[in-house]
Chains A and B, each alone.
Chain A
């Protein structure tokens, strides 16, 4: 299941992002996020993605598609070895 995020996401949207993420998480399988139109994500949002990925369990993963260089930097700096979290350019 794929969820698409667009615009800028910071701590002010963490509540609604958590609600949106709950849908693909509950659906089972891997969680794919299309982030090509997400121009900014802060540490709060990245933390939520990493911790949601961590909670998926051993057989599932979250894949971030089209993450901006800034978001990729945040993942690399803070959650470089997060099990269940995959970042791809495409």
Chain B
């Protein structure tokens, strides 16, 4: 990286690299991986499956020194990525790490793109002060210009045509790009609503019956019941008002939305495994781990959490 954009030793570096062709992708990613290995870093590469093979092939003899993961699995739910990278760091205490993470690809749904963009923003918070260098490739030929603009918002450094620059759009004050931080749209008219307070057994029975009828396997329906229950239990624990569960089926998935007057103050809630003896935090951790996608919006007006479970998973 150029002098203008290097961080102090031992600090997080988080750069987006914009590429338009395969040779550009290979140059950038292999250059980053090679520099990391030369520096004695542990190197972790999580990119969509087909690109793994490409990178392995071009790393020649050095592929054995790199840890690889298929991002379409590891990051299918973008909330799984930070804990996985943290586990890699924790398994190698004191070692500097270079990490290539490509969490955004063109076939992701609009909701997934939004959550993956929020994940990119949360990287800056999760690994502040941690000696990890992160490179996030973005395919400018396949991704919408709005997605690229958001990458400039979420990365302190952007690399174009091989040259790193500080990103002028990077904004620590407004953590998330505006279009990824809007209130969630209202549930569709065919959604079924259930207001609740302390009747959590009824909430579980309702969500479980709906999920199984909509076609979720019994195991996945049980996971969804746990997730919905934990959110409703948080309503009971942290607020004095009713909550509302909405549930509906659409486009091959079951969606549950839990809304209450509570406020989630930690933007990283659910993305770090709480300590075993922690009195709180396990609920949101479990919710994020069990579901295919979680959308959480919180503010002075309350909290809305939308859980997606695909029928095909």
Q: Does B229 contact A (CB under 8 A)?
A: yes
Query: What would 8 more interface pairs be, CB under 8 Å, given A12-B198, A43-B286, A70-B223?
Result: A8-B204, A40-B225, A47-B282, A54-B276, A69-B219, A70-B226, A73-B290, A79-B276
Complex alpha-carbon distance, A46 and B226, angstroms: 12
A41 shortest CB reach to chain B, Å? 9
Min CB–CB distance B116 → chain A (angstroms): 22
| B233–A44 touching, CB < 8 Å | yes
Contacts of B230 in A (CB 8 A): 42-43
Q: How many residues of A are counted as interface, with CB atoms below 8 angstroms from the partner's CB atoms?
A: 23
By size class, the interface of chain B is 20 to 34
Is B277 a contact partner of A54 (Cβ separation < 8 A)?
Answer: yes
What mask results when residues 234 to 253 of chain B are scored 1 for a CB within 8 Å of chain A, else 0?
Answer: 00110000000000000000
Rounded to whole Å, the gap between the CB of A82 and the closest CB of chain B is 6
CB–CB B286/A12 < 8 A: no
Assess the A78–B274 pair: CB atoms within 8 A.
yes
Residues of chain B with a CB closer than 8 A to A54's CB = 276-277
With CB as the reference atom, state the residue of chain B lying closest to A78: B282
Known: A8-B201, A42-B229. A70 touches B289 (CB 8 A): no
Bound together, the chains give a CA A73 to CA B223 distance in angstroms of 9
A74 interface hit (Cβ, 8 Å): yes
